[in-house]
């Protein structure tokens, strides 16, 4: 009788262990778990992840604290380039014209997850305007948002104390 119980219990325990390990890995993977300070808005925000080839007109030298000038995007709107490297954004100030704004986000930090999350106002208490996925680098993502004139705050949700900036829209 004891061997019958063992033949039954070992597979059950194995399934339990595999299930627990799968759950821990799944919950620890930031690609699989949406992250937002505004959970009800997650379903309304759809970032587009595509390979991006920066154009010469969108190139801005990576100087910490530099202001990125807006460049016209193909088909209207504004395109801005933003890079994450050494757990910092290359620019802490961005400027754009009202309307469609595309942020070409380049995470150059290998194995380190980053994203760009844009809020209306001067901090995260404002409404979420849009965000990219939290993804380990190196990777490139594109975020297109529609914004009115005003001030916007952006941050990396993983590293908000070292990776943040302002977007001024005129």
Question: DSSP 3-state assignment of 20?
Answer: helix
CA distance 53 to 37: 31
3 vs 105, more confident: 105
Burial of residue 35 (CB within 10 Å: 0-12, 13-18, 19+) is middle
CA distance 29 to 18: 16
pLDDT at residue 150, as a whole number = 97
Percentage of residues in the chain having pLDDT higher than 90: 55
pLDDT one-digit tens code per residue, 28-44: 444 433 444 444 444 33
pLDDT one-digit tens code per residue, 103-145: 999 999 999 999 999 999 999 999 999 999 999 999 999 999 9
Look at residue 63 and tell me whether its pLDDT is greater than 90.
no
- Whether domain 39-169 has CATH 3.40.50.10170: the reply is no
pTM to 2 decimal places = 0.59
81 vs 55, more confident: 81
Q: What residue ranges do the domains of the chain occupy?
A: 1-33, 39-169
pLDDT band at 4, cuts 50/70/90?
low
pLDDT at residue 124, as a whole number = 97
Look at residue 55 and tell me whether its pLDDT is greater than 80.
no
pLDDT (average), residues 154-167: 98
Structure tokens at 100: 């469609």
pLDDT at residue 138, as a whole number = 97
Could you tell me which of 127, 123, 86, 126 has the C-alpha nearest to residue 107? 86
């Amino acid at each position: 009788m004891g061997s019958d119980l063992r033949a039954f219990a070992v597979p059950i325990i194995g399934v339990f262990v595999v299930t627990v390990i799968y759950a821990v890995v799944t919950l620890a993977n930031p690609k699989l778990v949406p992250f937002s300070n505004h959970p009800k808005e997650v379903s309304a925000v759809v970032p587009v992840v595509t390979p991006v080839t920066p154009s010469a007109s969108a190139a801005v030298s990576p100087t910490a604290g530099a202001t990125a000038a807006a460049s016209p995007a193909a088909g209207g709107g504004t395109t801005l380039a933003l890079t994450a490297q050494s757990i910092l954004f290359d620019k802490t100030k961005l400027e754009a014209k009202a309307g469609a704004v595309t942020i070409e986000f380049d995470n150059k930090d290998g194995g380190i997850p980053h994203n760009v999350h844009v809020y209306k106002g001067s901090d995260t208490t404002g409404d979420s305007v849009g965000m990219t996925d939290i993804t380990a680098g190196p990777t490139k993502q594109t975020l297109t948002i529609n914004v009115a004139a005003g001030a916007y705050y952006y941050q990396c949700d993983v590293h908000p104390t070292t990776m943040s900036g302002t977007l001024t829209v005129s």
